[in-house]
Amino acid sequence: MSAAVNHAHGAGRANRWWAPHAWLDGRWQDDVLLVSDSGGRWATVQAGVPCPLDAQRLAGPVLPGLVNAHSHAFQRAFAGLSERREHAGDDFWGWRDRMYRVAGAVTPDDVQAIAAHLYRELLAGGYTQVCEFHYLQHQPDGTPYADPLAMGHALKAAAEAVGIGLTLLPVLYERAGFTQPALREDQRRFHLDADGVWAAHRTLAAQSHATFNAGVAVHSLRAAAPASVHRLAQLARGMDGPVHIHVAEQTAEVEDCLTATGRRPIEWLAAEGLLDPRWQLVHATHTVPAEIEAVARAGSAAVICPSTEANLGDGLADLPGWLDAGVGLAIGSDSHVTRSWTEELRWMEYGQRLLHRQRNMAAAPHQGQPATAARLWQLALDTGGRAAGQAVWGLRVGARADLLVIDTADAALVGVPGEHRLDALVFSSPGRPWRDVMVAGRWVGEADTAGRFADVMQRLWSSPSGGQDRVR
Ligand code: ZN
């Protein structure tokens, strides 16, 4: 990113830009005038306009900013540090226990430093908004901080400092499993019941501005009792923010849910009448066709996290099934082993190619959509906006004035014909070829986050055993 100015809260003066090419209404269009209003939203988006004298000419083709619909920022401090097998078997649950050592060790200041560094990387990776699935709430012994939202406020401060948009989702989290009445010792920092989630939501929603809003979340059906899920749904009945839930990520969770309730997790949510268009089903890896049909009927969406699901060995979502049913699919970087949407979309498709031994699995030539990258990108764009509680998203009047300027001189894009630009970005671009990133009508600048992040990493991981004892 080369633009210089960085502002904390996003909303800025009215401004006029002109792009030689921009992604409007699902395709590239030429000679596009973009005008933002004083609230940081698009007031004019018009193709086929010669560059006006008073407009700033953008240096390359323009994409809208993408929403990263699933993040646990603190897990960035663990990315790349769990790639060694310490026991005969190594699966999601072993990874989770090691992840808890980080969760147990960090302070609000640490979380702010980690999140600021991560959010800076996400902007560089082409995301302009992030949904924080936020369950790390309390002091290590489980006591609330003097400000009970200290951790949430640390995330908000980090987002404001680097200029990314943030949707904060306080999480309902109250038990260790379907048959367990309470949390484990190492989960004490996470406890929030339905009324606590709703109180946190109301406090955070009252602080909303152009680049900050709030929703709610349920950790998972294993971590929340049925009555609590219903209680939160009732409290949030009139809420216009999103409702997120981890669901069907692991086969063990599906089996435990079947044992406890007689239904699979998504089947249970649908049968209880909980799903509506605000609901975002994170992972939704293990499904049967009837569950996908139920999600489609309810107008809910799924948030796929391909790099994390691969890293944790979760399995592959039924991408053809979701696409055929017309369900919205957003993407999230979850544990942040990667911080670039091009890599998430690439792996969303590659997993299916490997599984089915075919190519261009996500393309739909019979629907006039032969381009795999374009179809996945447009889905992630539209659904991501919904996942972040935005009524309008993308290069559209009323949407927040976010955009990415592509550097066509990037080594990976040199010589690529315009109509294949998105294909090359997803399938042939190891780098992050954004010249500039705009959020809410302001260019996002370079924030120096590495120093504080390095300090936190040093403290977490500097012991002779590689940090495992230190943070235990
Ligand atoms: Zn998650």
**320, 361 in Cβ contact below 8 A?**
yes
> Do 115 and 154 form a contact (C-beta atoms < 8 A)?
yes
For residue 394, is it within any domain? no
The 3 state secondary structure assigned to the chain is CCCCCCCCCCCCCCEEEEEEEEEECCEEEEEEEEEECCCCEEEEEECCCCCCCCCEECCCCEECCEEEEEECHHHHHHCCCCCCCCCCCCCHHHHHHHHHHHHCCCCHHHHHHHHHHHHHHHHHCCEEEEEEEECCCCCCCCCCCCCCCHHHHHHHHHHHHHCCEEEEEEEEECCCECCECCCCHHHHHHCECHHHHHHHHHHHHCCCECCEEECEEECCCCCCCHHHHHHHHHHCCCCCCCEEEEECCCHHHHHHHHHHHCCCHHHHHHHCCCCCCCEEEEECCCCCHHHHHHHHHHCCEEEECHHHHHHCCCCCCCHHHHHHHCCCEEECCECCCCCCHHHHHHHHHHHHHHHHCCCCCCCEHHHCECCHHHHHHHHHHHHHHHHCCCCCCCCCCCCECCEEEECCCCCCCCCCCHHHHHHHHHHCCCCCCEEEEEECCEECCCCCCHHHHHHHHHHHHCCCCCCCCCCC
Q: Are 246 and 219 in contact (CB under 8 A)?
A: yes
Centre of ligand 1 to C-alpha 293, Å, is 24
Q: What pLDDT does residue 466 have?
A: 46
Q: How many CB atoms lie within 10 A of CB 411?
A: 10
- pLDDT tens sequence across 408-451: 999 999 999 999 999 999 999 877 789 999 999 999 988 899 99
Domain that holds residue 96: 68-387
Tell me, what CATH number does 270's domain have?
3.20.20.140
Split the chain (472 residues) into runs of 10 and give each run's mean pLDDT: 41 78 97 97 98 95 98 95 79 79 92 98 97 97 97 98 98 96 93 98 98 98 98 97 96 96 98 98 98 98 97 95 98 97 97 97 95 97 98 98 96 94 92 90 92 95 54 36
CA 80 – CA 370 distance, rounded (Å): 36
User: Rounded to an integer, what distance in angstroms lies between the CA atom of residue 200 and that of residue 308?
Assistant: 28
pLDDT given for residue 1 in this prediction: 44
| pLDDT at residue 14, rounded to an integer | 61
Render pLDDT for 293-314 as a digit per residue (tens, 0 to 9): 999 999 999 999 999 999 999 9
Question: What is the spatial distance between Cα 225 and Cα 472, in angstroms, rounded to a whole number?
Answer: 29
- The label of the residue with tokens 């010669």 reads 50
Give 77 Cα–ligand 1 centroid separation in angstroms.
15
Distance (Å, whole) CA 268 – CA 401: 39
Cα(134) to ligand 1 centroid in Å equals 9
Beta strand 165-172 pairing with 212-214: parallel
- Whose tokens are 């294949």? That residue is 420
Nearest-angstrom CA–CA distance, 97 and 116: 25
| Phi, psi dihedral angles at 312 (to 5 degrees) | -90, -5
CA of 332 to the centre of ligand 1 (A): 9
**Residue 264 alpha carbon to ligand 1 centre in Å:** 19
pLDDT tens column, 166-216? 999 999 999 999 999 999 998 999 999 999 999 999 999 999 999 999 999
The pLDDT, as a whole number, for residue 101 is: 81
- The confidence score (pLDDT) of residue 463 equals 61
In-domain check, residue 224: yes
In a domain, 168, yes or no: yes
From ligand 1's centre to the CA of 3, what distance in Å? 32
What size, in residues, is the chain? 472
- The Å distance, Cα 278 to ligand 1 centre, comes to 18
373 within some domain: yes
Annotated catalytic residues are 283, 334
> Is the residue at 406 inside a domain?
no
Which pLDDT does position 63 carry in this prediction? 98
Identify the bridge partners of residue 282 per DSSP, sorted by sequence position: 246, 303
> Is 14 domain-assigned?
no
Distance 107 CA to ligand 1 centre (A): 20
Ligand 1 centre to CA of 255 (Å) is: 19
pLDDT attached to residue 94:
74
Q: Residues near 263 by Cβ (< 8 Å), separated by ≥ 6?
A: 257, 271
Q: How far is the CA of 59 from the centre of ligand 1 (A)?
A: 37
Q: Looking at residue 6, what is its pLDDT?
A: 39
Strand partners, 401: none
For the question of whether the overall pTM of this predicted structure is more than 0.85, the answer is yes
Do residues 331 and 303 lie in contact, with contact meaning Cβ atoms separated by under 8 Å? Answer: yes
Give the pLDDT confidence score for residue 335 in this predicted structure: 96
Apex 442 CA angle, 72 and 29, nearest 5: 95
Q: 312 lies in a domain? A: yes
From residue 449, give the alpha-carbon distance in Å to each of 292, 305, 320, 421. Answer: 41, 25, 40, 31
According to the model, what pLDDT value does residue 3 have?
A: 42
Interhelix angle 150-162/108-124, nearest 10 degrees: 30
**221 assigned to some structural domain:** yes
Q: How many domains does the chain have?
A: 1
Task: Give the model's pLDDT for residue 90.
Answer: 76
Rounded to whole angstroms, how far apart are CA atoms 341 and 303?
A: 13
